[in-house]
Chain A
Amino acid sequence: MEKILSRNINVPDSQSLDVYIKRGGYDALKKALSLPSEKVISIVAESGLRGRGGAGFPAGMKWKLLPADRTAARYLICNADEGEPGTFKDRQIIELDPHLLIEGMTIAAYAIGACRGFIYIRGEYDWIARVLVRALREAEDKGFSGVDILNSGHQFCIDVFRGAGSYICGEETALIESLEGKAGRPRLKPPFPAAFGLYGQPTVVQNVATLASIPFIINMGPDVFKSFGKPRSYGTMLFGICGHVNKSGVYEYPMGTSLKKLIYEVAGGIKDNKKLKAVIPGGLSAPILKADEIDIEMDFDSLIAAGSILGTGGIIVLDEDVSIPFVAQKAARFFAHESCGQCTPCREGTSMLKLLIDRIAAAEGSLADIEQVLRLCRYIKGSTLCAMGDAAAFSVGTMVKKFREEFEALVK
């Protein structure tokens, strides 16, 4: 299969500008710069490209939400926070093909009229940030980035900004707050970043893999991009498969690829020939699927129909020996730890969830505690400032609902 996001990664020295250029790199940028910026926006809109950071919002549509007046400063931010447990796809792009991201980002900046951009990368990815900084310097030296890009008169300067260990800073408005030197507390929306983002200016935030898909779309045209995947979920996804599989790793496949195939063929099946118990299909925030629910296609709509989400495409595979209450305990602890504490339903809700699940897992709980977990999850849903509360409630709530007998066995 032709690759969009991982076509360079097995080439020796794939991080270097020379290799990137030899393989057709920065051709898309040249092409984009020769087109009116509105045309670039419409090509991306036509491709149907949707965000790869978890929410799946159409990129072209987001760009069209920016105010028409282009005179005020506007910003483009690449979200490389990658904090969702089970997710390790963006790092592959940055580590092995940084220029793909830089090119995609520079094209997007030209399209929306941003002169300044930031790549917000999680602090723990220090060595990857260094790869990126090196690549950026190279790109600037050769005129692919910076003040006068390829003598076009267009300017786009990128800064690498390191996070400092906070999951919530992946939420785009918390990320903006963090870039402004504050604690990562999501903003009340609206206004959305398109209207009021970094320093109060119009801002677009886009995931690494979303931006890295753009050079292909510009080079090959939206129709070729749409020949991958399926309606409403075009293109490919970098699936990160981890947990109890024989060959964990990052694999690029078209949207809509069967989850069963990804686990049993691509990732080599379950470790030690054990049976599958469950799969968390899109990062820890995605509601869990039971073993008999994995005969589905990995695209936005199919996963929603199955009661889960595609999320980040980070697939956590759990074998028959895994205790789901144990997983729920880890999830509850995670969300309680990462809640920014700003809104009550999330702050109190996640810590109460943790307390109850801990009690149940320690075999000190009661049936009433299980009911209370489910009630809490219902209360949290839809009542928090950002999507993290929902994520906690759906993630933990679904584990309890689908594997209730395991929780009950612990309290009897």
Chain B
Amino acid sequence: MDNKAKRHIIKLVSRFPSKESALLPALALLQKKYGYIAEDDLVELSEIMNLPEARVFSTASFYSMLSLKKTGRYHIQVCMNVVCSLLNGASLLSYISEKLGIREGEVTPDGLFSLASVECLGSCGYAPAIQINMEHYENISIEKVDGLIEAIKKKER
């Protein structure tokens, strides 16, 4: 991690009545900044926070929004819970998979996209829903997904 992240984490630690409470926000910060949490960063984090490495790893590996594996710069998650999958979520997942040429859990060769299914995003009234990094998209359709992916490609070209 860079110095800025380190400073940020040190500041986080002082915000809570107990330093341990800063662990999840610190991990989220690394996830957001790097798109995943590298093993070296876990070690460094345990040093900065003076917590056992095992403790940091245990937390980091528990939560589905934290990834210990490198994901694409745009991580696309498609809700596959009951309501979304009944309202076309399932075909969305296969559509995106085909369009990007990757399956769930894979990253495109250029590192731009990765794909995963996800449990209920809290958008059941506005289904189907997907999430790309921290952005939420509701009432999504194949046309809308196309638009989103094309826009990202254009921006990153």
Contact = CB atoms under 8 A, between A and B. Distances in A.
Interface of A: 73, 82-88, 91, 116, 122-127, 159, 161-167, 178-184, 199, 240-244, 248-250, 280, 284, 314, 316, 318, 322, 327, 330-331, 334, 337-338, 340
Contacts of B118: 165
B86 A85 contact: no
B65 A123 contact: yes
Give the size range of B's interface with the partner: 35 or more
Contacts of A284: 81-82, 120
Interface in B17-67: 17-18, 20-25, 27-28, 31, 51, 55, 58-59, 61-66
B146 interface: no
A316 B124 contact: yes
B83 interface: yes
B40 to A, nearest CB: 20
Given A88-B123, A180-B20, A182-B58, 20 more contacts: A87-B120, A87-B122, A88-B124, A116-B17, A124-B121, A159-B16, A164-B27, A165-B118, A179-B21, A181-B51, A183-B61, A183-B63, A240-B125, A242-B124, A242-B125, A242-B127, A284-B81, A316-B124, A327-B86, A334-B82
B83 A181 contact: no
9 contacts: A162-B28, A166-B64, A179-B21, A243-B82, A243-B83, A248-B126, A330-B82, A330-B85, A337-B119
B136 interface: yes
Q: Which of B23, B62, B63, B66 has the most CB of A within 10 A?
A: B62
Given A180-B20, A316-B83, A240 B66 contact: no
A334 B28 contact: no
Contacts of B88: none
Contacts of B18: 180, 199
Given A85-B124, A161-B25, A330-B81, A184 B62 contact: yes
Contact of A125 (B59, B122, B127): B122
B28 A83 contact: no
Given A166-B63, A179-B21, A181-B23, A85 B119 contact: yes
B125 A249 contact: yes
Q: Which of B17, B64, B81, B124 has the most CB of A within 10 A?
A: B124
Contacts of A127: 136
Contacts of B64: 164-166
Contact of B65 (A73, A87, A165): A165
Ranked nearest first, the 7 interchain pairs of A and B with the lowest CB-CB distance are A181-B23, A165-B65, A164-B63, A165-B64, A183-B62, A181-B20, A85-B120
B52 to A, nearest CB: 12
A164 B65 contact: yes
B153 interface: no
